[in-house]
Chain A
Amino acid sequence: MSSRSSAGAPAPGAPARTSLPGGAFAGSGSLWGQVVKIALLGLFTALGVWAALPLYVGGNWAGIAVVAAVLVLVYWVYLSKRTVPLKYLLPGVLLLITFQILPVLYTMSTSVTNFSDGHRGDKEQAIAAIEAYSVTRAEQGREFGLTVATTGDPESGELVFLLTDPEGAAYAGDIEGLRPLDEATVDPASGRVTEAFGYTVLSPAQVNARSQELEEFAVPVGDGAGIRASGLSTAYEGRATRVYDAGCDCITDASTGVVYTADDERGAFYSEDGERLAQGWRVNVGFDNFARFLFNPTFASSFFSILVWNIGFAVAVTGLVFVVGLAVALTLHVPKLRGKQAYRILVVLPYAMSSLAMYLLWRDMFNTDFGLFNQLLGTNVDWLGDAWTARFAVILANVWLGYPYMFLVATGALQAIPRELTQAARIDGAGAWQAFRHVTLPMLMVAMTPILIATFAFNFNNFNAVWLITKGGPFPPDDPSAGATDLLITYTYRMAFSQATAEYGYAAALSVMIFVIVSVMSVISLSRSKALQEVDR
């Protein structure tokens, strides 16, 4: 600080400098700083080239333009002397835009389409798929050795055929077509692919579970031909019986003579008597997805009952962890309590355990046959099989995991309140409860309201809390899609990733609705608290 006076500190009360830090001083950085800067820019340029190379090979000029634009932006920000705030914000903001904002926007645009299993690609892809699915064995078609694989989850990932032709060449084929497969291990005895990089080979049991899908699956190879499976280990090439005609924008089935006309509003081909071909394409459906959850009686009733439970769950967990955490903090908030440190360590323990593992543990503690609870209580309750005990179980597990955090926060907040205040209230004749109620609590709430809001928002979308314990169940017998403990987020996840048909459009619409609900609740509660004033400090 001594150097400060020699440099001439502003007189007390002088107006704060408004110039940005760096303005006058930038550029006088140390040599070391300059070297680091140049090295980082070099590294970033190398990354850009690395990213652009395959884009160039693939002829993706839009992609290259994006890479170039980002590079130019980075150079401008870090070489200019006028962009000091951006120098600090750019790395985080670039990541935020790429991996959070763009996906959110994409989700919003998906929410107004019929994007789902039957409506994945564009119209051309749908036509190719329809033609391929109608393939029947041709006289001189090629035969292949077949291994069924997937690029995703064995139960729901996209099917891929790993094929070997009689000459021994290996191919991978999916709904987009056939391409050579370089890194494949071929079993010399059977001549079939046993392993290929990037693909998960399905076991016979897994193939069996998806036999329905397999029956409708074919790899288009162009000119109305396609490859289909015959059994589990061979495939054949054949000709399509359903052929598209661009003139009438329709598909004619050569074997039955039925004509299916394209319906660009619904994104599928329909015959005259209303029969629909399974493969459709993505079209904009406006707010239909939202309307289903709001107005269709069946879906609206599950949606609203899930919403009610979702709010109830978040309120119950937030309220309970607050009460328990604060009670524990108050109990320990006394000088000279023996064993205070030991108690603190013990009660904080759940927070320091891995919540993912603990959720799975709680699930097993509630197990009917072998669970700890039935074992200790000598009961035989099907805890997770009944709606209300399952809800109780989920809340209890979350209180166990959540209260230590509140305890830590409340302890900090209590320490910030001068003891003299409560003591003064007590001297003025207030009882312990009155002093707490009218002095301590209001001061605590100032500090804890933002944290309560954050806790509520977190629990509102606490996927793990429900998915790992109950998977949303138990389910009513008449509706296997909406369970008693389902939160909106687990309901959404099931819709998109673990149902027979992936309903991306509906899932995206649900995501957007969750966003709106959480935003509205948060904005209301934040505007009541003082958190937003922070911005103007």
Chain B
Amino acid sequence: MTATTRGYRRSTGSAFALWAARFGWRHVVMIAVAAFALFPVLFVVSAAVNPVGTLSSARLWPTGAGLDNAVDLFRNTPFTTWYANSLFFAVANAAATVFLSALAAYAFSRMRFRGRRVGMIGLLIIQMFPQFLAIVAIYLMFSTVGEYRPEIGFDTRWGLLLVYLGGALSINTWLMKGFFDTVPTELDESAQIDGATHAQVFFRIMLPLVTPVLAIVGLLVFISTINEFLMASVFLRDTDAKTLGLGLYQLVESQRNANFGMFSVGAVMLSLPTLIVFWFLQRYITEGLTAGAVKG
């Protein structure tokens, strides 16, 4: 009896020790990391629903719940316009960039032509010169463009979108090319033997097979456009033309204590689209992010 009890005890003891060695510490670490990840989010959410709506009244844990800040944001600022602008830029830029760089990646991956090597290295180098370093030049360029065609000048969506699309071919093309290379060439060759044109091969065979990398590039561009500040701040000067990010910046620039509640609502709203896109694309994310790297 004693022996069995002792044996039982020893086995539970060692089972716990085993569990602790294998899993226990992992839970401790992960809870700590999760707390680190979560606390600013918790803070901004509780500030968003805080009825008082100032920074000085904001606490980590919600002290009340109300929609006062949201109502203020809707009433006192062109929030919906800002939000629509942000979404327009993010969606349009992501869609166009994915399409344009997929076209280029297809050419780089499947065709051999003069200037291919130069083109690929050139892309790598030119994207080291961040576009916004040339912002003065772009500013002056669009002052002239705006004189002839105000439709694409300052304070217009199309003008800024064009500027963003100047960076469509970039490291994204490399990432995509890496993924395209993993699709066996036999597939498109056999299709061509069957009489498919290169366009048919691209649209009907390649694109469906490379969905993960299309999704991930789309996501990356979407995120970076939502968060783009510098170009937009130079380009969009009219209050109604601003993006949500610029609007929020303006909101807390002068009155950071008083407007903090409104800002927090805006911050949560600005994060929502990314969270949603992230949620839908999550099964592609790991695969896509490592696509350009984990090979060979």
With A347-B34, A358-B267, A416-B290 as given contacts, are A365 and B43 in contact (CB-CB < 8 Å)? Answer: yes
B117 adjacent to A28 (CB under 8 Å): no
Residues of B within 8 A of A451 (CB): 293
Contact B286 A107 (CB under 8 A): no
CB distance from B209 to the nearest CB of A (A): 15
Whole-angstrom CA separation of A511 from B137 in the bound complex:
11
Among A16, A58, A84, A327, point to the contact of B148 (Cβ < 8 A): A58
Q: Which residues of B are found within 8 Å of A346, using beta-carbon distances?
A: 34, 37-38
Task: Judge whether B177 and A534 touch: CB under 8 Å.
Answer: yes
**B residues within 8 A CB of A339?**
27, 30
12 A-B residue pairings within 8 Å (CB atoms): A7-B193, A51-B149, A95-B169, A103-B137, A107-B136, A110-B136, A152-B237, A409-B293, A415-B286, A497-B234, A515-B133, A522-B128
Cβ of B74 under 8 Å from chain A: no
A interface residues, Cβ below 8 angstroms from B: 1, 3-4, 7-9, 16-18, 20-22, 25-26, 28-30, 33, 50-51, 54-55, 58, 60, 63, 84-85, 88-89, 91-93, 95-96, 98-104, 106-107, 110, 151-153, 157, 198, 200, 324, 327-328, 331-332, 334, 337-339, 343, 346-358, 360-362, 364-365, 367, 369-372, 375-376, 400, 404-405, 408-409, 411-413, 415-416, 447-448, 450-451, 454, 457, 461, 463-464, 467-468, 489, 492-493, 496-497, 504, 507-508, 511, 514-515, 518-519, 522, 526, 530, 532, 534-537
Chain B residues near A504 (CB-CB < 8 A): 136
Tell whether A404 pairs with B101 under 8 Å between CB atoms, given A29-B200, A496-B135. Answer: no
| Docked CA distance A416–B150 (Å) | 52
Rounded to whole angstroms, the CA-CA distance of A95 and B165 in the bound complex is 6
Q: Are B188 and A21 in contact (CB under 8 A)?
A: yes
B80 located at the interface, meaning its Cβ lies under 8 Å from any Cβ of chain A in the complex = no
Bound CA span A349–B40, Å:
10
- B84 proximal to A (CB < 8 A): no
Contacts of A338 in B (CB 8 A): 23, 27
Q: Measured between C-beta atoms, what is the minimum distance from A493 to chain B in Å? A: 7
Bound form: Cα–Cα A214–B65 in Å: 49
Q: Among B166, B249, B292, which residue has its beta carbon within 8 angstroms of that of A100?
A: B166
Residues of A within 8 A of B22 (CB): 334
What's the nearest-Cβ distance from chain A to residue B108, in Å? 8
A175 to B68, CA, bound (A): 47
CB-CB nearest 9 A-B residue pairs: A99-B166, A412-B290, A357-B267, A103-B134, A88-B107, A106-B137, A103-B137, A370-B56, A511-B133
Chain A residues with CB under 8 Å of B23's CB are 334, 337-338
- Provide the B24-67 mask, 1 if CB < 8 A to any CB of A, else 0: 00110110011011101101100000000011101110000000
B230 contacts the other chain (CB 8 A): yes
Q: Tell whether, in the assembled complex, residue A95 and residue B267 are in contact, meaning their CB atoms are under 8 Å apart.
A: no
Given A198-B150, A448-B293, A92:B168 Cβ within 8 A: yes
Our count of residue pairs bridging A and B at CB distance below 8 angstroms stands at 333
How far does the Cβ of B159 sit from chain A's closest Cβ, in whole Å?
10
Q: Which of A92, A349, A400, A408 has the most CB of B within 10 A?
A: A92
Contacts of A58 in B (CB 8 A): 147-148
Cβ–Cβ < 8 Å partners of A413 in chain B: 290, 293-294
Does A408 lie within 8 Å of B285, measured CB to CB?
yes
Say whether B55 contacts A354, CB under 8 Å: no
The answer for the CA separation of A193 and B37 in the assembled complex, in Å, is 52
In the complex the two chains form, is A28's CB within 8 Å of B195's CB? Answer: yes
Whether B55 contacts A364 by the Cβ 8 Å rule is yes
Taken together as a complex, chains A and B put the C-alpha atoms of A334 and B19 apart, in Å, by 12
The residue in chain B whose Cβ has the minimal distance to the Cβ of A367 is B55
B112 and A20 contacting across the interface, CB-CB below 8 Å:
yes
In the complex, whether B218 has a CB less than 8 A from a CB of chain A is: no
Q: Which of B116, B125, B140, B286 has the most CB of A within 10 A?
A: B286
A16 to B185, CA, bound (A): 10
Q: Which residues of chain A come closer than 8 Å to B59, judged between CB atoms?
A: 375
CB of A357 within 8 A of CB of B248, answer yes
CA distance A496 to B230 in the complex (A): 12
For B, the interface residue count at a CB cutoff of 8 angstroms equals 120
Q: Add 9 more A-B contacts to A21-B198, A54-B149 (CB < 8 A).
A: A60-B148, A91-B103, A96-B166, A98-B162, A104-B133, A343-B34, A354-B271, A367-B256, A508-B136
Given A95-B100, A152-B237, check contact A412 B249 (CB 8 Å): no
Q: Do residues A92 and B100 form an inter-chain contact, with CB atoms below 8 A?
A: yes
Set of chain B residues within 8 Å of A522, measured between Cβ atoms: 124, 128
Q: How far is the CB of A404 from chain B (nearest CB, A)?
A: 7
Would you give the shortest CB distance from A62 to chain B, in whole angstroms?
12
* Known pairs A22-B198, A357-B245, A364-B55; A372 contacts B137 (CB<8 A): no
Known: A103-B138, A360-B252. A7 touches B271 (CB 8 A): no
Is the C-beta of B274 less than 8 angstroms from some C-beta in chain A? yes
Inter-chain contacts of B34 with A (CB < 8 A): 343, 346-347
Residue of B nearest to A27 (CB): B197
Chain B residues positioned under 8 Å from A55 (CB to CB): 148
CA distance A332 to B162 in the complex (A): 42
- Residues of the A chain whose Cβ atoms lie less than 8 Å from the Cβ of B275: 352-353
Please name all residues of chain A whose beta carbon is closer than 8 Å to the beta carbon of B104 when the two chains form the complex. 88-89, 92-93
Q: How far is the CB of B165 from chain A (nearest CB, A)?
A: 5
**Cα(A530)–Cα(B134), bound, Å:** 30
Give, as a whole number of angstroms, the nearest-CB distance from A277 to chain B.
24
The residue in A95, A353, A411, A519 that gathers the most chain B C-beta atoms within 10 A of its C-beta is: A353
A33 to B196 alpha-carbon distance, docked (Å): 12
Chain A neighbourhood of B177, CB < 8 A:
534
Interface string of B181-215 (1 = CB under 8 A from A): 10001001110111111111110000000000000
Report the bound CA distance from A355 to B248 in whole Å: 13
Contact in complex: B117, A536 (CB < 8 Å):
yes
The CA-CA distance from A96 to B165 in the complex, in Å, is 8
Decide if B221 is an interface residue (CB 8 Å cutoff). no
Let me know if A103 and B190 touch, CB within 8 A: no
| Residues in B whose Cβ lies below 8 Å from that of A33 | 197, 199-200
Given that A331-B30, A347-B37, A534-B174 are known contacts, is A99 also in contact with B131, CB under 8 Å in the complex? yes
Is the C-beta of B270 less than 8 angstroms from some C-beta in chain A? yes
Q: How far is the CB of B6 from chain A (nearest CB, A)?
A: 29
Task: Name which residue of chain A comes closest to B278, CB basis.
Answer: A352
Inter-chain contact A103/B43, CB cutoff 8 Å:
no
Measured CB to CB, the nearest residue on chain A to B190 is: A4
The answer for the CA separation of A348 and B293 in the assembled complex, in Å, is 20
Interface centre among A356, A504, A522 (most CB of B within 10 A): A356
Interface presence of B18 (CB below 8 A):
no
Report the Cα distance A8→B190, complex, angstroms.
9
Q: Are B141 and A347 neighbours in the complex by a CB distance under 8 Å?
A: no
Question: CA of A504 to CA of B238 in the docked complex: distance in angstroms?
Answer: 23
